[in-house]
Amino acid sequence: MIPFSPPRIDERTIAEVTAALRSGWITTGPRTKEFERRLADYCGVPNVIALNSWTNACELVLRWFGIGPGDEVIVPAYTYCATANIIVHCGATPVMVDVLDDFTIDPALLAKAITPRTKCIMPVDIGGLPADMSMCMRLAKEASGRFEARSPMQGKLGRPLVLSDAAHSFGASIGGKKLGTQADITGFSFHAVKNLTTAEGGALALNMPSPFDNAALYKHFNTMSLHGQNKDALAKSQAGAWRYDVEFAGWKCNMTDLHAAIGLVELERYDAETMPRRKAICDRYHAAFANDARFIAPVLRDSSREGSYHLYMLRVAIATEAQRDAIITAITTREVSVNVHFIPMPMLTVYKNMGYRIEDYPNAYKQYSREISLPVYYDLTDAQVDTVITAVKDSVLEVMGV
């Protein structure tokens, strides 16, 4: 069976984690701080904070911005549930917007969805292809005139925050620039199936405009991630530095040095090995599917953006949802693992129960109903890619008769 997305774990990863274990310091410490510095260099921002998941990292952002009941946060309907769940955690309302054929949020519908209660816009880079970030920033700035600030941070910014869900798109670029400097805050995920992994983990690239101080914000998120305690374990471990205070009832979502050890190895070989291999795999799929009328190939790059090659989101042009499901069964019979990214949120029980209806998001449904994500990972060989291509084409022929 060809797996869908196993992590790349080799002797270097094992050696680095072992070194962290042997160092005697296993929670947040020198390796996490080094990982953060290198992430900041990579993204071109002064400050990055590494935490234990995208979910907790981005929830801290919403809470720091004072988002709560009565507030609206705009998200695409086509994303993983985490994007909207954190809004629900804060007691605010996810406002879902339909997507374009490339799976990113529809700018015209986004513009229409903005109200005085819109506190945050969260575009999602599905599959690693960046959403139109300059459009999101422009719409957020244009909304400043009718923005109703209800927290000190909202007052200070004077417009909706743009928090990019870049869970898939670490290393992607817009106009040749790596992601991190386009949105106010960019959130990455280092979950086991993502392009760059720490087993579980996430990070925020801080890019707030003045008068915000990103270094101070880094410190604040650090405190938020540690119960509101004003000293972390490393600082407390210094001689005589035992006394601490707790400034507010914070959360607990710091990254450990064991996880950072994996991340340091992943990051060091990301541009030289990981991305080129993923790109070669996606290009090989493209050569097989892009000019075959039965398929719609995903956008991997265009004149302004280059994706991270996280997912190869193929669509079977004329398949219904039931036919797509049958094709997946047929592919699985051929010993190839595939997936669907994603079931649009309005189709999930939790959001159906809140009154969202998939009928209001026709393009999200249309893209989802014929989507099949193919395996993409570092250790996948060209021969295996060819096996996947054959399995997909044979399965489509079996189910669709063409």
Ligand X SMILES: *Cc1c(COP(=O)(O)O)cnc(C)c1O
Q: Which residues bind ligand X (CB under 6 A)?
A: 53-55, 79-80, 82-83, 124, 165, 167-168, 189, 191, 202
8 A C-beta contact, residue 40 and residue 46: yes
Q: Is position 194 annotated as part of the catalytic site?
A: yes
- Closest separation in Å from C-beta 335 to ligand X: 26
Closer residue to ligand X, CB minimum distance, 82 or 131? 82
- Nearest to residue 31, comparing CAs of 315, 266, 310, 195? 266
Closer residue to ligand X, CB minimum distance, 45 or 124? 124
**DSSP type of residue 212:** -
8 A C-beta contact, residue 195 and residue 308: yes
Closer residue to ligand X, CB minimum distance, 244 or 251? 251
DSSP letters spanning 225-260? TBTTBSS-HHHHTSTT-----B-S---B-BPPHHHH
The two structure tokens encoding residue 172: 């992607």
- Nearest to residue 371, comparing CAs of 289, 257, 270? 289
- Nearest to residue 180, comparing CAs of 252, 110, 125? 125
8 A C-beta contact, residue 345 and residue 356: yes
Closer residue to ligand X, CB minimum distance, 146 or 252? 252
* Cα torsion angle, 285, 290, 294, 299, sign: positive
The beta strand positions in 124-184, using DSSP E, are 161-165, 173-174, 177-178
Closer residue to ligand X, CB minimum distance, 131 or 330? 131
**DSSP type of residue 66:** T
Give the active site residue among 194, 231, 352, 366: 194
Q: Rounded distance, CA 203 to CA 9, Å? A: 21
- Closest separation in Å from C-beta 276 to ligand X: 23
- Closest separation in Å from C-beta 188 to ligand X: 8
Closer residue to ligand X, CB minimum distance, 147 or 351? 351
- Closest separation in Å from C-beta 270 to ligand X: 17
- Closest separation in Å from C-beta 262 to ligand X: 14
**Which residues 6+ apart lie within 8 Å of 379 measured at CB?**
6, 8
- Closest separation in Å from C-beta 370 to ligand X: 20
**DSSP type of residue 226:** B
**Burial (0-12, 13-18, 19+ Cβ within 10 Å), 380:** buried
Could you give the residue numbers annotated as active site? Answer: 194
